[in-house]
Amino acid sequence: MLRKKEGWLYVLCLTLSACGGSEKIDPSLDTRYKGTINISADESFRPVIESQVQVYESSYSGTKLNVSYKPEADCLKDLSVDSVRLIIVTKRITDAERRFIADSSKVATEQMLLAYDAVAIIVHPEQEITRFTVSDLKQILQGKFRKNLIPVFDGLKATSTVRFIVDSVLRGDTLASKTLAARSSEELIDYVSKNPDSVGFIGVSWIGNKDDAQQQSFLTKVRLAELECRGLPDQYVQPIQVNIYNGLYPLIRELVFILKENHRGLGHGFTDFMTSERGQLIFRRAYLVPGYLPFIVRPTKLRDE
């Protein structure tokens, strides 16, 4: 009796195998190994996303990732554009927004953490004030600080940095009318380097990587300020990885991807790569804190002289 059942099982397996073998894959669809995809990414993260794209395309020579770097709000608008399947931003969409996209575009969305980032504060090298509390920053942004310091952003409208600072520091209050907007992160750094009374708000991936030659050159033009440590009054820290990882730096934000793709295509391939060990190491080398790769903090011991 057992043998008879095994025989039927064997026939059933052959039948299923034959059906699977006759299934045809649409040759027009891209895969993780070949094809082209359009991506919108927050301009604040251009250095690290360019590194991710370079490594991925070199690993899979048949792929082409066309990335447009733009303000975060424009990236989110691109979710309604059929030609853009993947965006990389600091803001997750709500369940209601996901349902709207599913109803209007007939495609489900996925969103997932990639890494933790921070907003760095930069000042002119000759600026005597290099330590700030979050309350100080709020007063600077409102034009009420004891010294006339001018806040500068990488754009006043629709950027992730502006949105994060308004939400996290101003708590919905408006920016002072004297607040300035640069057209890019590079222009912001250049402006602060030439104007002693300016205070720049910028993603740490533009200024935190001391192993990157371009960022090293940036750090010769401006100075990285310290902020009051979260939970430890009178202690001040910079947005380095260990302080982001331990939650000590007060201006920490997430970097996430939002993907709309009905097949296991290039969008899934690239997002799988960024959340894999190789992709997470790229985030770590860019001085962000990986969302999944274990981040080990090792104590150092001073050797006796």
Domain with CATH 3.40.190.10 in the chain: 34-116+254-290, 117-252
Beta-carbon contacts of residue 190 (< 8 Å; ≥ 6 apart): 182, 221
Q: What is residue 67's predicted lDDT score, i.e. its pLDDT?
A: 98
Q: What is residue 172's predicted lDDT score, i.e. its pLDDT?
A: 82
Q: What is residue 189's predicted lDDT score, i.e. its pLDDT?
A: 93
Query: Is 259 within 8 Å of 40 (Cβ atoms)?
Result: no
Q: What is residue 105's predicted lDDT score, i.e. its pLDDT?
A: 87
Q: What is residue 125's predicted lDDT score, i.e. its pLDDT?
A: 94
Rounded-to-integer distance, Cα 93 and Cα 111, Å: 8
Q: What is residue 75's predicted lDDT score, i.e. its pLDDT?
A: 96
List beta partners, residue 39. Answer: 67, 86
Query: Is 217 within 8 Å of 139 (Cβ atoms)?
Result: no
Asked if the model's pLDDT at residue 41 lies above 90, the reply is yes
pLDDT in tens, 96-136: 999 999 999 899 999 999 999 999 999 999 999 999 999 99
Nearest to 281 by CA among 51, 43, 44, 32: 51
Nearest to 42 by CA among 17, 74, 3: 74
Mean pLDDT for all residues in the chain = 87
Q: How many residues does the chain have?
A: 305
Nearest to 122 by CA among 165, 84, 86, 151: 151
Find how far residue 11's CA is from the centre of its chain: 51
Position 42 confidence tier, pLDDT thresholds 50, 70, 90: very high
Two tokens, residue 178: 């004297």
Determine which of 2-16, 62-76, 168-182, 274-288 has the lowest per-residue pLDDT on average.
2-16
* DSSP code string of 169-219: TSTTPPPPTT-EE-SSHHHHHHHHHH-TTEEEEEEGGGT--TT-HHHHHHH
Q: What is residue 79's predicted lDDT score, i.e. its pLDDT?
A: 94
Query: Is 231 within 8 Å of 243 (Cβ atoms)?
Result: no
Average pLDDT over residues 152-160: 84
Q: What is residue 296's predicted lDDT score, i.e. its pLDDT?
A: 56
Query: Is 121 within 8 Å of 225 (Cβ atoms)?
Result: yes
Q: What is residue 20's predicted lDDT score, i.e. its pLDDT?
A: 45
Asked if the model's pLDDT at residue 16 lies above 70, the reply is no
CA distances (Å), 287 to each of 46, 66, 77, 264, 275, in order?
Answer: 13, 24, 28, 30, 16
Helices (H) and strands (E) in the chain, counts: 11, 13
Query: Is 258 within 8 Å of 109 (Cβ atoms)?
Result: yes
pLDDT in tens, 204-244: 888 866 677 777 777 789 999 999 999 888 899 999 999 99
Query: Is 214 within 8 Å of 247 (Cβ atoms)?
Result: no
| Structural fold of domain 117-252 | D-Maltodextrin-Binding Protein; domain 2 (3.40.190)
C-alpha dihedral (270, 163, 245, 206), degrees to nearest 10: 70
Position 184 confidence tier, pLDDT thresholds 50, 70, 90: confident
Q: What is residue 26's predicted lDDT score, i.e. its pLDDT?
A: 66
| Structural fold of domain 34-116+254-290 | D-Maltodextrin-Binding Protein; domain 2 (3.40.190)
Task: Supply the pTM of this predicted model.
Answer: 0.84
What percent of the chain is modeled with pLDDT above 90? 73
